[in-house]
Structure 1
Amino acid sequence: MAKIGILGGTFHPIHNGHLYIAKQALAAFGFDELWILPAGLPPHKMVEGHISRVQRLKICEAAIADEPAMRIIPDEIFKTSTSYTYETLQAFHVAYPQHQFSFIIGEDSLNSFDSWVHPEIICQLADIVVAVRNDKNQDYHSLEARTKELSKKYGGTFSIIPSENMPISSTMLRKMLAEGADVSMYMPKLAYEYIKEHRLYQVTMEDDLKLRKEIQEDLKNNLKKSRYEHTLGVMYTACSLAMRYQYSMTKARFAGLLHDWAKYLSDEEQLAYCKKHHIEITPAEEQAPYLLHAKIGAYVARKRYGIDDEDVCHAILVHTTGVPNMNLLDKILFTADYIEPNRKDAPRLEDIRMMAFENLDTAVLMILEDSIKYIEDTKRPMDPTTMDTYEYYKTHSYKE
């Protein structure tokens, strides 16, 4: 028989305070495992913000990656109906009849325990552990009286575990993240890195349908039919990769739409456009002016269409050559440009398409390998950034 502690919550997002309570409970009660149970639709609070359930789950998984005694249990998070603790515990007893469960709650939950659905069933199926703030003003006498009252009323076992009064909350973190603040001191390292990579909890650009239609109309009027179809293919492929890697589809959509905006311009016209608008031209771009369409696309996104999102503009800027240590949207657009459905003549194309949805870094490396070979075989000038990017991903990706 295993002793299992369960810590439930919305974890929106999970933070060091949650993990502190989990570790205190593990040490105090000798649990064999501590289960982290993210809620899907909790009965007592709304889950606000543009964060999917999968993203909350991924943040939790990252948070406990270095905690061998902890497990993420996803049973509640994908439920379409409201999650009730008594139902979850009933399901656990059916699935794990040999386990002994303890359910960890906070002081607020202790005070509102009578309002929970079927508290009597909860007490039959699990011991209740109450994490309370170790505060000099804490009224332990009242807390103990409350636990005795509930124990007598519902027949359960209630235990109190003191915890440090950490000045941290998920609400506070959401506000700080929206303001662009560094919250690394409040969260496990890998969880914070996941949030930063996926640009979560930030004020993100809205999907402006009117602007999107305006851009598409401009592209349709200016680009060749084949280039326009390629652009739409890149947009839809970028959206698919964004869904796969839990990234903003809106950002991916606009990056895909605008990446080849300047392709209707000749080499001479691109050089002239950059000189007119004071866009820097490198020696490599002087030799291969077609590379300038990326810089012009990023410039047009800002100046013509008012898109000032740094991620979108940067992805457009580097989508041809790549850049070492690309961010997630950079890699999404770089890859979508290569694998979109209208492309037919690239080597290893089907393999790269499959790899793009398995391991994006490896797909990027494969694209760079084949692109460099093509440039060398055709004796075209190569931007040094392409080789720098290849050298980076040669040591930072893994091919099976």
Structure 2
Amino acid sequence: MGYDAFLEIDSWKNVKEVFKMAQFVVVNRNVESREMLKLIEEKCNKFDGEAIYLKVPNIEISSTEIRKRINEGKSIKYLLPDKVIDYIQKMTYIEEIDNMIHKIEQKLKEMLDEKRYIHSKNVLKAAIELGKNFNVDLEKIKIAALLHDCAKNLRDDELLIKAYKYGIIVDEIQKIQPFLLHGPVGAYLSKFEFGIDDEDVFNAIYYHTTGRKDMTTFEEIIYLADFISIDRNFEGVEEIRKKAFENFEEALLMSCNSTLTYVINRNLPIHPLTIEFRNWLLMKGGK
């Protein structure tokens, strides 16, 4: 323990018992002096104990300075062990994401109706559980899941207007079914309205309805979490939920097949991205 702390050992509870149970090692960053050694000896004599004095180099490292550098975004390399730095950075990152999520939730409450907001929270929960099985950034997964439907409550005309505003190429299927634009428009809203400038989050939101070939695992997690969230109650969803944690790829194919069945039964056009997504799943072995 530090020399200054050792001098205040009188304030400890049952200090005599502590001296009986252990031998103190007293360190000091300052120059050794006879007065200092004398005070250590006096404390030991007072409590019938022993202490070893250890002189260490006078390295100018202050916990106050370290906290200050962290708050200012400055490097703390060489001031702490690498593993400690990694842990601090991870905890700082998680705290920043938690604050960001709180702000997102407050804004979403203003943009979405209650049913859609609850769905978004449920997708977040499902995405976290799915994400635990993969090497993905769970903090980013939370953001993408929460924001995936941020444009869902926009009217068809509003979706088209925003699509043109953001330079989204609106295809013939989307002109007939503008609701399919809530993914692409939502991706741009996440970037420009919520300040989330992240490619993984952007693409996961953009393609969460249609899917696409060559989806990343990150995108697939959001796609499937949207499909199996606890508020969904369509026929076959329980089987897909179960399969999602047994065979992720097969669950994706089941979800895509379910979407196609829904669209075909209603005699609606199928978006080419969904067809490409299904064929890609089949080609890579989801069956």
TM value normalised by structure 1? 0.48
3-state DSSP class of the match of 2:215? coil
Letter in 2 for 1:283: E
* Offset from partner CA, 1:296-333 (integer Å, 9 cap, x none): 11111111222111111111111001011211111100
Contact (CA 8 Å) 1:205, 1:251: kept in 2 or not?
A: no
Distance 1:356 1:283, change over 3 A: same
1:236 paired residue number: 125
2:220 paired residue number: 331
The structure richer in helix per residue is 2
Letter in 2 for 1:394: L
Letter in 1 for 2:151: A
2:280 paired residue number: 392
Deviation at 1:244, TM superposition (A): 2.1
- Is it true that 1:293 corresponds to 2:182 in the alignment? yes
- Is it true that 1:310 corresponds to 2:199 in the alignment? yes
Q: Distance in 1 between matches of 2:248 and 2:86?
A: 24
Q: Distance in 2 between matches of 1:207 and 1:248?
A: 14
* Offset from partner CA, 1:104-144 (integer Å, 9 cap, x none): xxxxxxxxxxxxxxxxxxxxxxxxxxxxxxxxxxxxxxxxx
Contact (CA 8 Å) 1:258, 1:316: kept in 2 or not?
A: yes
How many residues end up aligned between the 2 structures? 203
2:75 paired residue number: none
- Is it true that 1:366 corresponds to 2:254 in the alignment? yes
Contact (CA 8 Å) 1:352, 1:367: kept in 2 or not?
A: yes
3-state DSSP class of the match of 1:316? helix
* Offset from partner CA, 1:80-111 (integer Å, 9 cap, x none): xxxxxxxxxxxxxxxxxxxxxxxxxxxxxxxx
- Larger Rg belongs to: 2
- Is it true that 1:270 corresponds to 2:166 in the alignment? no
* Offset from partner CA, 1:8-51 (integer Å, 9 cap, x none): xxxxxxxxxxxxxxxxxxxxxxxxxxxxxxxxxxxxx8657879
* Offset from partner CA, 1:183-225 (integer Å, 9 cap, x none): xxxxxxxxxxxxxxxxxxxxx8974233212211121122121
- Is it true that 1:282 corresponds to 2:171 in the alignment? yes
3-state DSSP class of the match of 1:215? helix
3-state DSSP class of the match of 1:264? coil
Q: Distance in 1 between matches of 2:86 and 2:233?
A: 36
Q: Distance in 2 between matches of 1:205 and 1:396?
A: 34
- Is it true that 1:377 corresponds to 2:237 in the alignment? no
Letter in 1 for 2:201: V
1:245 paired residue number: 134
TM value normalised by structure 2? 0.66
Deviation at 1:398, TM superposition (A): 3.8
Q: Distance in 1 between matches of 2:285 and 2:236?
A: 18
Letter in 1 for 2:249: D
* Offset from partner CA, 1:37-84 (integer Å, 9 cap, x none): xxxxxxxx8657879xxxxxxxxxxxxxxxxxxxxxxxxxxxxxxxxx
Structure 2 unpaired stretches of 5+: 1-80, 88-92
Equivalent in 198, 205, 219 of residue 108 of structure 2: 219
Letter in 1 for 2:270: M
Distance 1:288 1:395, change over 3 A: same
Q: Distance in 2 between matches of 1:237 and 1:380?
A: 29
2:241 paired residue number: 353
Deviation at 1:239, TM superposition (A): 1.0
Letter in 1 for 2:134: Y
Q: Which runs of 4+ in 1 moved over 4 A?
A: 45-51, 204-207
Deviation at 1:250, TM superposition (A): 0.7
Q: Distance in 1 between matches of 2:238 and 2:86?
A: 33
